[in-house]
Amino acid sequence: MSRTAFLVACVLLSACTTVKINHDDTTSITHQGDAETGKQLAARACQKAGRQQAVVVSTVNKDASLPPGTGRQVTTFRCVSG
């Protein structure tokens, strides 16, 4: 699936979510919620892109001065088949 189609699929997931396709074959989603929310969003994005699962690389606060798990989060992941 092309990167453009993947981006469109990701954008459809949520109006509050920002998706960025990175240069190193990972994708980052900026979202509200905790690490579990990021994991669920990543899984949905990968499924919509025709992949079987998401492997989460990291979830961090967008604003490092906030306590962990609060504010907007950035989850970085890879989609894999099988």
User: Which residue ranges make up each domain of the chain?
Assistant: 3-80
pTM, 2 dp: 0.77
Q: How far is CA 31 from the centre of its chain?
A: 8
Answer whether residue 14 shows pLDDT above 50.
no
Beta strands in 1-82 (DSSP E): 18-21, 27-32, 53-61, 72-80
Q: What is the pLDDT of residue 2?
A: 55
In tens, the pLDDT along 19-76 reads 888 889 899 999 998 899 999 999 999 999 899 999 999 999 999 999 888 899 999 9
Characterise 24 by phi-psi region: left (phi > 0), alpha (psi -120 to 50), beta (else): alpha
Higher per-residue confidence, 61 vs 82: 61
